[in-house]
Amino acid sequence: VGVELGARRYDVRIGSFTADEVAGMLAAALGADVTGVAVLVDGGLAACSPRVAPLVAALAGRLPRVARHDLPAGEACKNLAEIERTAEWLAQNGYDRRGAVIGIGGGATTDHAGFAASIYLRGVRFALCPTTLLAMVDASVGGKTGVDLPAGKNLVGAFHQPRAVIADLGFLDTLPPRERIAGLAEVVKCGFIADPALLAAMEAWGGAGAPAAAAAYRPLVAGAVRVKAAVVAEDEHEGGRRAILNFGHTVGHALEAASGYALLHGEAVSLGMIAALSLGRARGITPEPLQARARRLLKDVGLPVDLEARLDASVLARVGVDKKRQGAKIRFVFCAAAGDARLEDVTAGDLASHFLTSPGAGPGGARAIGDDEGHG
Ligand SMILES: NC(=O)c1ccc[n+]([C@@H]2O[C@H](COP(=O)([O-])OP(=O)(O)OC[C@H]3O[C@@H](n4cnc5c(N)ncnc54)[C@H](O)[C@@H]3O)[C@@H](O)[C@H]2O)c1
Ligand SMILES: [Zn+2]
């Protein structure tokens, strides 16, 4: 799948590859003039995946001065202290302006690797091997990179496009089922905002739930990446249309944070989509059968849909406390039909009156107002 960004265009390659095939594609994309390659690997992946060592060896066979640096697993690498450690390591290993970074891991690792590449020597080239379903369909594509602050997630970052993204589905073999299912939430999202065929493909599983065989994910990853690539090509820096990628994320982020990150991102987005469809129905945008279809599909793939039990005034108070405050309105993504997303402004008051109808909920819960951070 091509991400068409003019001179900065790149391909996302999706399939089951050998280590040497992945290394060959990465070497071609990084360019013949590269002087050294820093491979940043998620530490949790390194501990459990048999694919990491052969891949690093294959890279060393094709590229100059390949060295590996393992990062703390998952979100623990997404902070400025770890970025400083990585930058220091890059400098000590003598990587120059024509050095390159390759990130191998989930979305936390790809965000870390991209951000480190964006600031080291004011920017060096990079490429990514996403290893979670979420990173394959979402985090590795689009050029948003960054890390968290104690004040909140993704508050520091940069736009920096990779030279290539290689999604080797074989990595999914070691991914825990819960992580895999959480990644499906972003595929469902892509279905509802742009590509109904993705919904049909998952509905074809029936009640059997998400398949275990990694190869079964190929059409889903390809379809979801196509949706994201098209939106990003149209709106690289999120001035407008890219916001549709935030479907389910306004309430989803609030639930994720309120749970203290006990809910995985995809699980929170599942609940956030339930919320967006419910509010859409109340506003006459979302037809009832669409809402029912979404609930059934999310439940069948194993994602949570019990929004009512989880949404209260303290959760709604978090909606809009993200960094991009935009006056008194929240830009909200609705779905009018499968594949048809609509952006409309709502107020915190609209959210409160729709969701906080139970007697004990009390008034005034939703104070903070702003724009969802999202991460399209
Ligand atoms: N930049 C973007 O556009 C964008 C988009 C979406 C999400 N994100 C970011 O992505 C992050 C979430 O990504 P994630 O869900 O991939 O989580 P993650 O990177 O935290 O990985 C989840 C866990 O899976 C492990 N893991 C990774 N690959 C594995 C494999 N193949 N087998 C076994 N274990 C494996 C990791 O060690 C970690 O413990 C968040 O920080 C989010 O902000 C960024
Ligand atoms: Zn998301």
CA–centroid distance, 253 to ligand 1, in Å, is 16
Decide: helix, strand or coil at residue 352.
helix
- pLDDT tens-digit profile of 240-278? 888 999 999 999 999 999 999 999 999 999 999 999 999
pLDDT at 366 over 80: no
CB 10 within 8 A of CB 163: yes
- Which protein residue's CA is at the shortest distance from atom 30 of ligand 1? 175
pLDDT at 13 over 90: yes
In this prediction, residues 352-369 reach a mean pLDDT of 54
CA distance 313 to 102: 43
Closest C-alpha among 81, 98, 224 to residue 156 = 81
pLDDT at 324 over 70: no
Q: Which of 8-22, 67-81, 327-341, 360-374 has the lowest mean pLDDT?
A: 360-374
- Which protein residue's CA is at the shortest distance from atom 27 of ligand 1? 106
CA distance 363 to 49: 50
Q: What is the DSSP string of 193-228?
A: HT-HHHHHHHHTTGGG-S-S-GGGGHHHHHHHHHHH
Q: What number of other Cβ atoms are within 10 A of residue 78's Cβ? A: 24
CA distance 30 to 102: 10
CA distance 102 to 213: 26
Decide: helix, strand or coil at residue 357.
coil
- pLDDT tens-digit profile of 191-202? 999 999 999 999
Judged by its nearest atom, the ligand closest to the C-alpha of residue 250 is: 2
Catalytic residue among 51, 265, 331, 375: 265
Which atom of ligand 1 is the closest one to the Cα of 108? 19
Judged by its nearest atom, the ligand closest to the C-alpha of residue 77 is: 1
CA–centroid distance, 75 to ligand 1, in Å, is 7
Running DSSP on this structure, what letter comes out for residue 172? G
SS3 track for 245-298: HHCCHHHHHHHHHHCCCCCCHHHHHHHHHHHHHHHHHHCCCCCHHHHHHHHHHH
Catalytic residue among 82, 186, 236, 267: 186
Catalytic residue among 125, 249, 331, 375: 249
Is 344 catalytic? The answer is: no
Output the pLDDT for position 90: 98
Q: Which of 31-45, 130-144, 202-216, 285-299 has the lowest mean pLDDT?
A: 202-216
Give how far Cα 367 sits from Cα of 234, 360, 363, Å.
33, 18, 10
Is 180 catalytic? The answer is: no
Output the pLDDT for position 313: 86
- Please provide the distance, in angstroms rounded to a whole number, between the alpha carbons at the two ends of the chain: 17
The more confidently predicted of residues 347 and 50 is 50
- Which protein residue's CA is at the shortest distance from atom 33 of ligand 1? 175
- Percentage of the chain surpassing pLDDT 70? 93
Give the residues surrounding ligand 1 with Cβ less than 6 Å away.
Answer: 42, 44-45, 48-49, 73-75, 78, 105-109, 111, 131-132, 134-135, 138-139, 142, 144, 153-154, 171, 174-175, 179, 265, 375
Q: How many CA atoms lie within 13 A of 6 on its CB side?
A: 4
CA–centroid distance, 4 to ligand 1, in Å, is 25
In this prediction, residues 325-343 reach a mean pLDDT of 85
Rounded to the nearest integer, the mean pLDDT of the chain is 92
- pLDDT tens-digit profile of 121-173? 999 999 999 999 999 999 999 999 999 999 999 999 999 999 999 999 999 99
What's the chain's length in residues? Answer: 376
Greatest alpha-carbon pair distance for the chain in Å reads 67
- Percentage of the chain surpassing pLDDT 90? 82
pTM (predicted TM-score): 0.93
Running DSSP on this structure, what letter comes out for residue 261? T
Which atom of ligand 1 is the closest one to the Cα of 111? 1
Closest C-alpha among 73, 11, 82 to residue 48 = 73
Catalytic residue among 236, 238, 256, 373: 238
- Among left, alpha and beta (phi > 0; psi -120 to 50; other), residue 364 is left
What is the side-by-side strand order in the sheet with 10-15? 2-3, 10-15, 164-168, 125-130, 99-105, 36-42, 66-71
- Report the chain's C-alpha Rg in angstroms: 20
In this prediction, residues 62-78 reach a mean pLDDT of 98
Which residues, other chains included, contact 7 with Cβ-Cβ below 8 Å and sequence gap of 6+? none
